[in-house]
């Protein structure tokens, strides 16, 4: 987005002042990730996002990726921006030294990922997909496979994809048909067609490494018969050199609502040579290991759109003059007052701000948990982080992307009719971020994962672990009189969250559809409570800073104002969600298919 500013200061506030990242990195042995180093890296990422990616965002939307006879061309400037990204060493930030990476923590690279996507969602998809591919090979690949593929991927001269979806199966991967036949040399021939493959074909890199799920001959039906393969566009020697073309082609790209510069490809495998990654028929288990990070990555895209929409709307609201303020003239030298003076415009701006900053705190916390699960040597700490992350991942994915729809819609609304016009970039943000609630598991699928698999599936244990953290925190600030009301509000919600869980679990023992009927409301309810917890924490931290006599009074007072807005006007959304959840499945299921009459 033109004029986009990377919110470095807020990210550093969350990391350093809220979540103690200096100690966190030191405890995990990341000596290189000192606060100064983090700031220096952030500042370079911010420059790249603002000066290189943001200026080509609108042209990317205008021209889009194009397909001609299997060749995909990205819009002007995209390839050159990727070249700069590679020269900056960004693709390998978190990858091990032995493959040419910088071995920096996951959370560091992910936090700045918000700015790449905020500046240019489409462009950021290409390197984003590569990260999933590298993580899969790093964790599940053999030494030979790592040697073949990782150096070039880490360097960035090759990119990667994740090929799961087929025309007849998206959420329900158990139905997949793509076949893998073993060859005598230990490789496999893959045959089938994948659809909707992001970055499946393009002009950024010399080779594209596809991670593909497929079925072996005689594999069990359903998800127990899915295996994982690595299949390059160009064959690769054991030493990692690019060889002849493999039988992988791009049949077409989709014409779609948004992220037009991101090529969404049909990828055809016609007895293409590939290699098994991990164990036969255990492909989905391998995928689960990086599913958390892929889902957090999509939540981050939602956050980036929320922030960008807020930035655009705020600037416009300060400039646009319409009517006088209800309390009298604010801009005597002008013909009218800036629209930021009108309460309803403030309602929209504060909703965006509360979502951007609250959601940022939540997602950086989730990234901190990922760090612990990946790098900690303390088994207890690791186990605790895994439990919290399991609960929070579907919330991060779905809540941050669902609320991005509201925030980007307000981005347009604050501009009035001008928000609907291309020139300002607000309608592009709304179109681009719309996909985020769908790919990487729809909101419906995240909600079932949260309620049925994580919460009920653990007999409430995963919920209780996180609730304990929040309750302990509320108790610790309860005696600070100015925070008593907010900490009580969160505490009361924790009781209700547990009660709602127990109610729906009970109903589900006689009717399993109760879980599906409650799930999305349950997820959104959880999101508002969890973000409320982070707003409470931010308010306490901000007050401490003000008490210490900080010179940055506006920044911290804004946190207190926004906390008040969140508790007064946003947390109360839980009322209607709790009521919908409590109403049960019958009002959804009793109408017959035939009675869904049209007209």
Using CA atoms, how far apart are residues 42 and 117, in angstroms rounded to an integer?
14
Site for ligand FAD contains 171 (CB under 6 A): yes
440-459: burial string, b at 16+ Cβ within 10 Å, e else? bbbbbbbbbbbbbebbbeee
Pick the binder of ligand FAD from 16, 102, 165, 383 (CB under 6 A). 165
Pick the binder of ligand FAD from 30, 149, 290, 439 (CB under 6 A). 439
Stretch that binds ligand FAD, among 139-147, 157-165, 203-211, 296-304 (CB under 6 A): 157-165
Pick the binder of ligand FAD from 19, 109, 180, 197 (CB under 6 A). 197
Helix (H, G, I), strand (E, B) or coil at 442: coil
Pick the binder of ligand FAD from 196, 466, 535, 556 (CB under 6 A). 196
Stretch that binds ligand FAD, among 99-107, 163-171, 270-278, 345-353 (CB under 6 A): 163-171
Site for ligand FAD contains 72 (CB under 6 A): no
Stretch that binds ligand FAD, among 268-276, 335-343, 357-365, 431-439 (CB under 6 A): 431-439
What is the H or E stretch that residue 198 is in? Answer: strand 188-198
Site string for ligand FAD, 106-145 (x = CB under 6 A): ----------------------------------------
For ligand FAD, the closer of residues 73 and 442 by Cβ is 442
Site for ligand FAD contains 457 (CB under 6 A): no
Pick the binder of ligand FAD from 6, 117, 145, 198 (CB under 6 A). 198
Q: Are 18 and 371 in contact (CB under 8 A)?
A: no
Helix (H, G, I), strand (E, B) or coil at 210: strand
What is the H or E stretch that residue 268 is in? Answer: strand 264-277
Tokens encoding 522: 């349950």
Catalytic residue among 155, 440, 461, 496: 440
Site for ligand FAD contains 67 (CB under 6 A): no
Pick from 236, 239, 177: which is nearest to 209 by CA? 236
For ligand FAD, the closer of residues 121 and 273 by Cβ is 121
What is the H or E stretch that residue 402 is in? Answer: helix 379-414
Using CA atoms, how far apart are residues 185 and 269, in angstroms rounded to an integer?
19
- Please report how close the Cβ of residue 239 comes to ligand FAD at its closest, in angstroms: 29
Site for ligand FAD contains 442 (CB under 6 A): yes
Site for ligand FAD contains 336 (CB under 6 A): no
Q: Angle between the 121-140 and 283-319 helix axes, to the nearest 10 degrees?
A: 160
- Please report how close the Cβ of residue 296 comes to ligand FAD at its closest, in angstroms: 16
The residue sitting closest to ligand FAD, measured at its beta carbon, is 170
DSSP β-bridge partners for residue 282: 226
Pick the binder of ligand FAD from 240, 516, 582, 584 (CB under 6 A). 516
For ligand FAD, the closer of residues 171 and 544 by Cβ is 171
- Please report how close the Cβ of residue 545 comes to ligand FAD at its closest, in angstroms: 42
Pick the binder of ligand FAD from 435, 470, 515, 570 (CB under 6 A). 435
Instruction: Tell me the DSSP string of 225-266.
Output: GBEEEEEESEEE-TTS-EEEEPSEEEEEE---SS-TTS-EEE
Size of the chain, expressed as the number of residues it contains: 599
Site for ligand FAD contains 162 (CB under 6 A): yes
Of 264-293, binders to ligand FAD (CB under 6 A) are 264
Helix (H, G, I), strand (E, B) or coil at 501: helix
Using CA atoms, how far apart are residues 512 and 494, in angstroms rounded to an integer?
24
Alpha-carbon torsion 360, 365, 370, 375, what sign?
A: positive
Q: Are 546 and 553 in contact (CB under 8 A)?
A: yes
Of 343-372, binders to ligand FAD (CB under 6 A) are none
Using CA atoms, how far apart are residues 195 and 439, in angstroms rounded to an integer?
12
- Please report how close the Cβ of residue 552 comes to ligand FAD at its closest, in angstroms: 40
| 440 given a catalytic annotation | yes
For ligand FAD, the closer of residues 165 and 187 by Cβ is 165
Secondary structure E strands in 42-130: 66-68, 71-73
Burial of 300 (0-12, 13-18, 19+ CB in 10 A): buried
Stretch that binds ligand FAD, among 26-34, 176-184, 443-451, 570-578 (CB under 6 A): 443-451
* Residue in the block written with tokens 């014409």: 255
The residues annotated as belonging to the active site are: 440
Binding site for ligand FAD (CB under 6 A): 162-165, 170-172, 196-198, 256, 264, 435, 438-440, 442, 444-445, 448, 516
């Amino acid at each position: 987005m033109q004029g986009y500013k990377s919110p470095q200061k807020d990210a550093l506030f969350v990391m350093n002042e809220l979540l103690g990242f200096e100690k966190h990195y030191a405890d995990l042995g990341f000596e290189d990730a000192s606060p100064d180093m983090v700031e220096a890296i952030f500042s370079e990422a911010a420059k790249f996002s603002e000066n290189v990616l943001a200026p080509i965002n609108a042209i990317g939307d205008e021209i889009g990726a194009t397909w001609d006879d299997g060749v995909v061309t990205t819009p002007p400037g995209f390839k050159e921006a990727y070249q700069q990204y590679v020269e900056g060493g960004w693709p390998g930030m978190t990858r091990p030294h032995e493959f040419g990476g910088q071995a920096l923590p996951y959370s560091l690279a992910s936090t700045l990922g918000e700015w790449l996507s905020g500046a240019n969602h489409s462009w950021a998809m290409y390197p984003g997909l590569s990260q999933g591919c590298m993580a899969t090979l790093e964790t599940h690949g053999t030494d030979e496979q790592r040697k073949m593929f990782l150096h070039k991927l880490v360097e960035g001269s090759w990119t990667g994809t994740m090929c799961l979806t087929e025309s007849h199966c998206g959420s329900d991967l158990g139905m997949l048909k793509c076949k893998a036949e073993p060859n005598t040399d230990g490789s496999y021939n893959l045959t089938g067609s994948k659809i909707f493959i992001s970055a499946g074909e393009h002009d950024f890199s010399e080779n594209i490494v596809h991670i593909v799920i497929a079925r072996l001959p005689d594999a069990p039906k359903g998800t127990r018969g899915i295996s994982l393969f690595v299949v390059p566009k160009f064959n690769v020697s054991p030493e990692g050199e690019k060889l002849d073309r493999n039988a992988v082609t791009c049949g077409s790209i989709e014409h779609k609502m948004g992220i037009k510069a991101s090529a969404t490809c049909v990828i055809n495998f016609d007895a293409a040579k590939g290699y098994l990654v991990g164990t036969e028929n255990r492909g989905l288990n391998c995928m689960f290991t990086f599913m958390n990070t892929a889902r957090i990555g999509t939540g981050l895209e939602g956050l980036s759109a929320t922030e960008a929409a807020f930035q655009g709307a705020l600037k416009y609201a300060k400039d646009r003059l319409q009517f006088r303020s209800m309390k009298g003239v604010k801009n005597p030298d002008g013909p009218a007052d800036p629209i930021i003076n009108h309460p309803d415009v403030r309602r929209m701006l504060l909703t965006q701000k509360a979502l951007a900053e609250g959601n940022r705190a939540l997602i950086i916390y989730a990234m901190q948990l990922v760090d612990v699960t990946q790098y900690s040597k303390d088994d207890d700490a690791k186990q605790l982080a895994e439990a919290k992350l399991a609960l929070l991942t579907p919330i991060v994915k779905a809540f941050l992307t669902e609320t991005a729809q509201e925030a980007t819609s307000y981005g347009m609304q604050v501009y009035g009719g001008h928000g609907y016009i291309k020139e300002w970039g607000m309608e592009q943000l709304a179109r681009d971020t719309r996909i985020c609630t769908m790919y990487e598991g729809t909101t419906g699928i995240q909600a079932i994962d949260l309620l049925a698999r994580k919460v009920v599936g653990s007999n409430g244990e995963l919920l209780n672990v996180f609730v304990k953290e929040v309750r302990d925190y509320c108790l610790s600030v309860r005696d600070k009189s100015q925070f008593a009301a907010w900490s009580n509000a969160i505490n009361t919600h924790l009781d209700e969250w547990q009660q709602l869980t127990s109610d729906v679990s009970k109903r589900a023992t006689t009717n399993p559809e109760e879980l599906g009927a409650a799930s999305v409301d349950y997820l959104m309810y959880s999101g508002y409570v969890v973000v409320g917890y982070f707003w409470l924490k931010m308010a306490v931290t901000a007050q401490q800073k003000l008490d210490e006599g900080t010179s940055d009074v506006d920044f911290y007072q804004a946190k207190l104002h926004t906390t008040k807005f969140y508790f007064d006007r946003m947390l109360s959304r839980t009322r209607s969600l709790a009521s919908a959840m409590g109403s049960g499945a019958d009002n959804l299921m009793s109408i017959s298919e035939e009675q869904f009459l049209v007209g």
